[in-house]
Amino acid sequence: MGEVVTPEPVNSPTGVSKFLKGILFTAPLFMMAAAWGGAFQAIDHVKPESMATVPVSVEPEPDGPKLFLRHCANCHGEKGDGKGLTYLDPKARYFGYEPFKFVSTKNGIPTDDDLLRTIRRGVTGSPMHPFEGILTEPQMRAIVAHLRELTRRGRYAYERQLIDNDKSGELEYEPLAVAAKVIRDTEPGETLAVPKSFPPVSPESLTTGKALFAGLCASCHGPNGDGNFPGAKDLKLWDKKTPARPFNFVAGVYRGGNEPEQIYKRIRVGIPYAAMPGNDEKNLTDENAGHLVNYVRSLSGPK
């Protein structure tokens, strides 16, 4: 018998040993495990509050000039000069140049709350309608801020006109000085203190109020409070040219509001635009002012 020859082991065609095959097979598994471990470690370091944070949309600040242009300029004009597209008689206020009507300050410059109240509730008996329910509180306050700017511009134009029309030559145009005066003249003054309560309505209160009305108010509003009085034909507004129309209390259309506190304010500080004078404590005590409020409100019948 011939010699049996045992064949030599033959390497795999790729020449890769079993050890290397094991490494190549398990390496991807190690890499995946490492990746997952890093991911979980990263998540573990993230603060719970940052994971729960959800972007919240922030309401943009209301744009006062744009809101004024959209809701007010049709009557008041884009510049607040009363030259809007709508024909009004009397025309809308020229802010800064013409005084305001309904104020609660002793110097006749309205507070932000005065302006806000007028915008919110409108002016009864006029084309100025209420904006409550149409505009939000922040939107109305944005318009108030823009009104302040328009008022300063209007006042500056008014002061400049006085200087330009000066025939004596005593007035000189100095921009900084004029600007400083405008700021002073458009700043709200001391706010009127309104009593927390008024005298109860009674025959005695109405009798006292009627006597006070005859002495302080009848010369313009008439003895019956209906505004129909011969002497009223000579009354003029703030410009001393435009005829004034005394208010008819009997009609009961109170443009500034018929609440006791609002009528009290009109009695105390007057109505600057209408050249209606106010009555201070020296001329009218708070108690008597309360009686006058009661009588004025009674002229339009039961409330």
Question: Could you tell me if residue 5 is inside a domain?
Answer: no
Question: Could you tell me if residue 108 is inside a domain?
Answer: yes
- What's the pLDDT score for residue 232? 76
- Inform me whether the pLDDT recorded for 37 exceeds 70: no
- Inform me whether the pLDDT recorded for 85 exceeds 90: yes
Number of folded domains that form the chain: 2
Query: In the predicted model, what is the mean pLDDT of the chain?
Result: 83
- What's the pLDDT score for residue 54? 53
Q: Are 250 and 300 in contact (CB under 8 A)?
A: yes
- What's the pLDDT score for residue 242? 87
**pLDDT category of residue 217 using cuts at 50, 70 and 90:** very high
Question: Could you tell me if residue 153 is inside a domain?
Answer: yes
**Which residues, including other chains, have CB under 8 Å from residue 135's CB and lie 6 or more apart?**
67, 71, 119, 143
- What's the pLDDT score for residue 142? 98
Task: Answer yes or no: do 222 and 290 share one domain.
Answer: yes
The 10 Å CB-count burial string (b at 16+, else e) for 158-181 is ebeeeeeeeeeeeeeeeeeebeee
Question: Could you tell me if residue 104 is inside a domain?
Answer: yes
Task: Answer yes or no: do 132 and 162 share one domain.
Answer: yes
- The tokens describing 83, both together, are 């030259």
**pLDDT category of residue 56 using cuts at 50, 70 and 90:** low
H and E: helices and strands count for the chain: 11, 0
Q: Are 199 and 221 in contact (CB under 8 A)?
A: no
Helix (H) or strand (E) holding 115, with range, is helix 112-121
Question: Could you tell me if residue 231 is inside a domain?
Answer: yes
Q: Which range among 54-58, 140-144, 218-222, 235-239 shows the weakest confidence by mean pLDDT?
A: 54-58
- Inform me whether the pLDDT recorded for 246 exceeds 70: yes
Specify the amino acid at residue 158: Y
Record the pTM.
Answer: 0.75
User: Quick one: which of 237, 216, 217 has its CA closest to 227?
Assistant: 217
Task: Answer yes or no: do 143 and 220 share one domain.
Answer: no
**Which residues, including other chains, have CB under 8 Å from residue 233's CB and lie 6 or more apart?**
243
CATH of the domain at 254: 1.10.760.10
Q: How many CB atoms lie within 10 A of CB 246?
A: 21
Task: Answer yes or no: do 246 and 273 share one domain.
Answer: yes
Distance CA 249, CA 297 (A): 8
Q: Are 289 and 279 in contact (CB under 8 A)?
A: yes
Distance CA 275, CA 164 (A): 26
CATH of the domain at 71: 1.10.760
Q: Is 118 exposed, middle or buried (0-12, 13-18, 19+ CB in 10 A)?
A: buried
Higher pLDDT, 206 or 59: 206
pLDDT digit string, tens, across residues 250-272:
988 888 899 999 999 999 999 99
Domain carrying residue 248: 203-298
Distance CA 138, CA 64 (A): 10
Q: Last residue of a domain, which of 118, 151, 185?
A: 185
Q: Last residue of a domain, which of 158, 185, 212?
A: 185
- What's the pLDDT score for residue 227? 87
**pLDDT category of residue 44 using cuts at 50, 70 and 90:** very low
Alpha carbon distance, N-terminus to C-terminus of the chain: 141
Task: Answer yes or no: do 88 and 128 share one domain.
Answer: yes
Question: Could you tell me if residue 89 is inside a domain?
Answer: yes
Question: Could you tell me if residue 303 is inside a domain?
Answer: no
Q: According to DSSP H, which parts of 85-166 are helical?
A: 112-121, 137-164
Task: Answer yes or no: do 164 and 88 share one domain.
Answer: yes
- Inform me whether the pLDDT recorded for 43 exceeds 80: no
- Inform me whether the pLDDT recorded for 166 exceeds 60: yes
